[in-house]
Structure 1
Amino acid sequence: MREDNNVRKVWSEAELDEALTDLNNDVGEDDGLAFARASLLAAAGVEEAPPAEPRRAGAWRWLAVAAAVVTLVGGLGVAAALWTPDPPETSRPAALVDLDRPLVPGEFRYAQKLGWSPEIMFGRPAWVQQKVELWIPADPAGVWHRRTMWTGVVQGLGPEASKDVQVNLTPKDEFGPGGSFPGDPPTGVVDPRWNTPLQKWLQPDAAFVAALVPDRGRLAKRLALDTITRTDNGRQHTPTESLTMVRSVLELGLAPKNVRFALSDAFGDVHGGFVTSGHAPDGRAAMVLIAKDSDQRLYLDPSTAQLLAWDAAQPTPAIIRSDQVPLTTTSIPPPSAPNSRTTTTERPKPPTPEMLGEPAATYSFAITRTSG
């Protein structure tokens, strides 16, 4: 057996150019390249949607180059890295995209929160899944688009009661210049009993995020003492309140990377706040921020400090009425259910992994060219 039988041919630049020219001269939809392209993308882990119109010659030229590169390097990693898909669907995070890169006009930062809202349904505590989507334009001072809707998934009622629930799936769309939406508290309000003017930690907008500096010491002081509600009256925040401040900012996907890391470090300096290494509920490695007083946890990507998930482990006291729950249900509850038109003095306990098998909320981020 010859020693070079298993040695691949090394193409010269001239031979490669000639092969690519021949390949591109007469390309049609049915000449086998569609199958090759689909196979290449499948091996690279990229899902391809069926084409809505005939492919342009440029797309086929890319395939030819990618196939040649794969032949030369003997692997698919380069092809995956070179492939730039169409703008990602807003229902899933972007792939192979630097989410911290500057945006160009027409692009949006997209954030999705998929979480559980505790509600009273048929007189019973239940958890209803809610999706909140946010589109922030390339210039954050422009108009933000927020869409909130129920997904129709309900847990905690049992199979008999669940089949009688009819959830309103109509989305609610809101638009806010610079991220300031109707109902948000005003900025700059002062009171002599407060440590600072009222700050928008819980409803952050473009101006608030832009004013955050990547200074761990200053951020730790703000997480402890900034006025976030009209009832603060100069008191120091609990660890859970400080964690909520961090979460509210990170949920937007707007804060730059250095600010995200500074916020996570600053939370570790808050009394009763801890930062450790661990894993997110889905098994990914994570930086974990823990509030000692409630055991609430935020899971961040350790390389980017992007928010992955949130676990809420303690009840949230509140006074709510069932007739104010933004859901459409059957008018007659199951025979076994008590009257649902009652007032409760304690909101149902937010979900935990032990209760629902998943966290209170999960997050995904992307860059898109659509605003919903």
Structure 2
Amino acid sequence: MAGIYIHIPFCKQKCSYCDFHFSTDIRYVDRMIRALLKEISERREFLGGLPIETIYFGGGTPSLISAGYISELLDAIKRENTIEEQVELTLEANPEDLSESNLSHLKKLGFNRLSIGIQSFDDKALQAMNRIHDAKQAESAVKRAQHIGFDNISVDLIYGLPEIDMESFKKEVEQFIQLGVQHISAYALTIEPKTLFAHLLDKGQLKLPKEEEVIGQFDYLVRALENAGFEQYEVSNFSLSGLESRHNSSYWSGKNYMGLGPSAHSYDGHKRYWNVSNNFTYMAALEKGELMMEDEAIDSMTRYNEYVLTRSRTKWGLDLRYMKNELGVDLLNEFSVELEKYRGTYSILDEHLILNSKGLILADGFASDLFLSD
């Protein structure tokens, strides 16, 4: 089994916190679609005939382009690959793009999962983030999607935002729960270089909550979502039973995937690949029948470290048998000193080391302490 990711590198405007690869110049959308179609054809052998179980349109803002363009891309993917009958087909979308007409088109194209970028229900916070939608539009978009028949909807939530105290955050969490969606992805605000928030912070014009306040918000979020029937299956991801993101879970499971579009990454089980992060270079190369892509081989140490980093963040944890037999590391014996530091933050069930809620907050530090080094 394998997955396909399609990067649509266009947005209407730049959010204050975002450093993803995208452009607000939509004049060359058609040219980009032609390049993507060419890449789909050129790389038809990349996954070696593995059946495709997940297809994910990300960005950027995939909901910004027309259903006609999305249909062209889907047809090309289906033509060049074997698609599983129960494929998970996801589209990232912004609330302002989800009209009843657009939702109906997406449903007819076979999309069975939406990931909606709400981020917050505080209108002042949304304005500060330079989001186009407001809280009312966000709620209406979800209701329209549910009315059309989408029953697997994920929404994004950002915590640790400026000017959002705990009481305000609690109200927001309740609003997210009341949406009746099946999945919530929650991310702490990070200040990335060359973003508006980074500029404002440097100028002393952005007031961020203290670290203990951010941790407090996350702790509250975990408890509230668990009480509402959500399971934290990865540090930042919560779902109702059986409705985890299959696409993202495949990354954490080490499955093969192909990334299409500028800046997209791929993995074939042996090497990691990434496309050039420049729209015009990407398009020009494909127009000449070339792929602008770099790659690196995954050595045994990198494979082990990536496994520890990704799997320790999930409810499935570290498979101790797999680590010993396939990765050559007897974790409990070789890292007994490091593991002692985390006593009480994990359990061992059926030969799997699994972090508890306290441990998941420390997941990145936990993983780094278990890394191999030269």
Coarse TM-score class (shorter-chain normalised): under 0.3
Which structure has more relative contact order (CA 8 Å, sep 6+)? It is: 1
Relative to its length, the structure with more helix (as a share) is 2
**TM-score in terms of structure 2 length:** 0.27
Bigger Rg, structure 1 or 2: 1
**TM-score in terms of structure 1 length:** 0.27
